[in-house]
Amino acid sequence: MDPGNWATDIEGGARFGYSLLWVLLSANLMALLLQHLSAKLGLATGQTYPQLCRAYFPRPLTLFLWVTAEMAAIATDLAEFLGAALGFYLLLHIPMLPAAILTAVAVFGILWLYRYGYRAVEWVIMGLVSIIGLAYVFEVWAVQPDWLAVGEGTIVPRLNADSLVIAMGMLGATVMPHNLYLHSGVILNRRRASVEDTKLVTGAAVVDSVLALNLAWLVNSAIVVMAAGAFFVHGLEIDSIEGAHETLAPLLGGMSSIAFAVALLASGLSSSTTATLAGQIIIEGFLKIKFGLFLRRLITVIPALVVIAMGLDAYWILILSQVALSIQLPFAIIPLVWLTARKEVIGPHANSPLTTVLASVVAALIIGLNVLLLLRLTNLID
């Protein structure tokens, strides 16, 4: 539910109505399968996904995978930091640069809670996510959508050359390669030694993922529904998150625009924290070096501050950052499927043939869509 989702979901709903809701459902199902593989990999081996890449792959391939993972992490960090800054900007009516600095202070404050253990940070993130969910229950209630059209858009796939870029952004924003690295690491504090206990904890992790990802799917779908009901139905063009925020007040009332800004801020702060954790797992695992959370966050703040200082279009940078994630996805998925399919890596917890086939189909589908996307971006297809 990060700000990258917001930008792609708002653009998808405002430009294409309810027709891309099926993309979110499909991406959510893909994410469920892949997050399960990531969690199982960590629980079965006691190592993170990047550490296992370093152990089982040649050095040149490991470095290549690290570079692609870092690019995904930087794109994610950029989107999440920008989104939180936009939340402060909309709520406090202050310029973007001070809003960005305030965002940095807030994220460092959340990371500081790590001195009290992972649970403290987990509860803060759960609280922020709850705010997002409640805000969008209110937004959907206010917009009074066409539920028949919502159901049709969720079940019936529709895609054309015009909607392909946004659909791929929605896919990248939902599956999110950095989360595949992150999950294999944060799950380690629940690891048990025996095979039976590992299977039990893996099952519990599946339940966690189903709850978390389905909540994210519902909220992201609600953003599309809100944008379709408020903007597409009325023929309004939206070219910025600020524009969406300003347009909501006369359409749905002042509380809608306030709820929108509060939820955007909560989204940016919660996801920015988890992205920092993912970045630490990536660099420590692939390169076998110790890298502090605060240093990681400080380095990734710089690109966002540069974008804001240069006055670049934050809305389209958010969207394009999510498209970049979709392009990076195959480099995160293929090694994950390879590692989890091998008994020499995870022993009796190796994938069943059906799981490997399903995961391979997901990888092939994403690769195929990325090829179409690149052809579209280079104007080779209309």
- The confidence score (pLDDT) of residue 153 equals 92
* Rounded-to-integer distance, Cα 168 and Cα 163, Å: 9
- The confidence score (pLDDT) of residue 61 equals 94
- The confidence score (pLDDT) of residue 52 equals 94
* pTM to 2 decimal places: 0.84
Are 154 and 21 within 8 A, CB to CB?
Answer: yes
* Rounded-to-integer distance, Cα 34 and Cα 365, Å: 14
Domain covering 3-377, topology: Amino acid/polyamine transporter I (1.20.1740)
The residue written with tokens 């379709």 in the block is 228
* Rounded-to-integer distance, Cα 24 and Cα 172, Å: 10
- The confidence score (pLDDT) of residue 249 equals 62
User: What's the average pLDDT block by block, 10 residues per block, for the chain (382 residues)?
Assistant: 79 90 92 90 90 94 92 79 82 84 81 73 77 77 86 90 85 84 83 69 80 84 87 79 66 68 78 78 86 70 76 75 83 93 88 92 88 74 52
Q: CB count, 10 Å around CB of 86?
A: 30
